Structures are given as C-alpha cells and as structure tokens.
Amino acid sequence: MKINNNKGEIMNKFNKVGITALAGSLAAFSAQAVEMSVAGSAKITYQNGDSTEVTGNPMGMNTSLAFSGSGEVNGYDTSLTVVAADQLGGMSSAAITVDLGDMGKLSFDQGTGIGGLSTIDDKTPTAAEEIWDGLDAVTGTKDGKVGMGNAGAFVYSNSYSGINMTSQLAKGNSASSTDDAVSGGSGGTSLDIALTTDGAMLGLEGVAMGFGYGQIANGKMTGAGNDDHDEHSTVFLNYSMGMITAGAQYSKIDNGGLTSTDEVAEAWGISANVNDSLSISYGEREIEYDKYTNSADVREDIDGYAIAYTMGSAKITYQSNETKNNGGTKGVSDENAQIALSLSF
C-alpha cells in the first residue's frame, strides 16, 4: 500500500462540506430528490526544474471542486461525480456509476480514474507523488506506465473472495467527448483489467499485491508487420510491517508497431511513517528501452525521495525526482524539485 500518497487527491481526500440540495435525477427521464455534497481542495507549489530549463515564475496553484450525488434510479443505486479544476486551460472530469449489487458496479468514466489497469501503473510506496512526477515527458514513450487512460471508458468492478477486479473498455485512444460528439485519434478497441488483494485470503498479513493486463489500441493498423494493439502487463507486491512499507513492481509494454520500441520497467520503493504526522520515502525505477533498430538498448534510471508533514486537513511536502537517459535517449537528463502545500475543505 502507499503511505500518505496524494495521487488522486481530488477524488480520495476530500472532507465533506455537508451541503445538500434537491437535484434533478441522475437519469434525465426519472426525476427525484438526490442528496448532493460538494468538497474542495487547493494546492500551492514552488517548482524548481532542470538548470537548463527556463523557469519563469515557479509559483503555481490549483483549486478543485468535486460535486457528488447518489440516489435510486429504476431500482438501482446510482451515483454521479463531477470534478471541476481551474488548472491552466481548465479541466474537468466526471463519472456515473450504477450499483448492480452482487453483480458489481458499472461506470462510465470521463477522466476521474476510478478503474482499470491505470489504477495500478505504479504502486510502489511513496510519501508524496510518484518518483517520475514532474519530470519531462517524452513523446512516443510511456516510461513503462501501463494502461489506456480513463477518459471515455466503460468500467466494470467487482470483488470475488477477497480479490478486487476492475476492467475498462474504450474505443480508440480513450479520449473525452461531449454528448453528440466523437473524439479524434486512433481507431480500434482497448480492453484492460486489474486484480488486487490485501493478502488476507492467503493468510499473508501486511501484504498488498496485484496483477494487470491490457490490449491497448495504438492506431497502427496499416503497414506490413504492424499490430493494431500494444500489450501492457504489470505485477506488484508491497509489504508493511510497523512503520515501514516496502514494495516492488515489474511492468512491460510490447508495442505492436513494427518500428516501435518495447519498454520494461522495474521499480522499488520504501516509505516510513516516522510518527502520526511525518512520513518519508525513497524509490528507484529503471526502464529498459528495447530498440527496434540495430541500435543498442538504452536504460533510463529514475530516482526520487519525498518528505511529507500532515496537520489535519493540511499537508506540506517536499519531493525531488531525477532521471538519466530520459525517454531512452542517451545523455538526456532531467530533474525536478517541488515544495507543495495542499489543503482539503
């Protein structure tokens, strides 16, 4: 399990404000009273990137509001979540979920990240964000992070004898669209699945583990030797004992394009809750880029550490991440350090 990890903070760490109202039905054809709640968060950051980068103003802020409601629609418990963020350019996400009882839950997700393989793309322990957070992304590479994304996707979730299962299905490149509209990007259909358990069914106290696999559309359906899907797979294992949590993860991406590079990622991390307020962590990640040409394979090395101090609904974090041979290109490095103050309302 992750210690004090604020990934998905918008969705997972809100404190309810307790505002209720009468709202329209979650389905347009069945109006009824629905209890609504709203919660918010704010994050102020000071960013320090690589010395070769133009920093400009290193101060930034993000604020978010999440609205959620639930009610009964045609005999089924149904919930709606809408998240609005004021990040540069403006962003929002939403999900609607129908609870089918013993048959599980069926959702349509527009970017909230409630299910699928991407929920376990990196489960190594950390006191803040992942050790690759804030590092420059390289076009055409995934840094060994698996999953199709979570926009415009149907999600099915259920539990079986202590094993949690979540699966996603999406057309094309898993992009958001409004009603009466279609997104651009690749064709094809993507399907992935993630299985996780806390180890209790095996009598393994303190263990958290999981496995995932996906067939992800890549838009390379033309050309001799090309496959229209990439294969994504991952497995992780974390163990907690007292104040310490240690974990490791192995991921692989087999690209279906004839001239594409495969990626293999091996990662480990360790975190410690020094006391109820203070936590620290360190991790490393290696990505092997299997070049399709005669060029030698390249290994990217990422490492990072984090410190977090929590005071009620406020959290202060410091994180420093660094990579060498970024994106599989020899000699290209990047680093990022960030101080952040996060507040939940």
Kind plus residue range of the DSSP H or E element containing 212:
strand 207-217
CA–CA gap between residue 9 and residue 281 (Å, rounded): 18
Q: What is the CATH number of the domain that holds 271?
A: 2.40.160.10
Which residues, in sequence order, are CB contacts of 58 under 8 Å at separation 6+?
A: 46, 47, 48
Asked if 8 and 32 count as a contact pair (C-beta separation under 8 A), the reply is no
Number of domains composing the chain: 1
Is residue 330 one of the residues assigned to a domain? yes
Q: Which residue segment(s) compose the domain that 224 sits in?
A: 41-65+90-344
- DSSP letters, 154-199, are EEEEEEETTEEEEEEEEETT-----TT----S--SEEEEEEEEE-S
Is residue 82 one of the residues assigned to a domain? no
Is residue 85 one of the residues assigned to a domain? no
Is residue 257 one of the residues assigned to a domain? yes
Is residue 217 one of the residues assigned to a domain? yes
**What is the per-residue pLDDT for 155?**
96
What are the CA-CA distances from residue 68 to residues 50, 84, 86, 268 (Å)? 39, 12, 18, 35
Q: What is the CA radius of gyration of the chain?
A: 21
CA–CA gap between residue 42 and residue 46 (Å, rounded): 14
Is residue 53 one of the residues assigned to a domain? yes
Is residue 74 one of the residues assigned to a domain? no
Please identify every stretch of the chain with a pLDDT value under 70, giving residue numbers as ranges.
1-34, 54, 86-91, 172-187, 220-227, 258-259, 293-295
CA dihedral sign of residues 105, 108, 113, 117: positive
CA nearest 148: which of 106, 115, 181?
115
Is residue 309 one of the residues assigned to a domain? yes
Indicate whether this model's pTM tops 0.85.
no
> Tokens representing 36?
């609504």
Which residues, in sequence order, are CB contacts of 328 under 8 Å at separation 6+?
A: 138, 141, 261, 263, 287, 289, 291, 298, 300
**What is the per-residue pLDDT for 179?**
67
**What is the per-residue pLDDT for 5?**
46
Burial of 125 (0-12, 13-18, 19+ CB in 10 A): buried
3-state secondary structure of 120: helix
Asked if 15 and 32 count as a contact pair (C-beta separation under 8 A), the reply is no
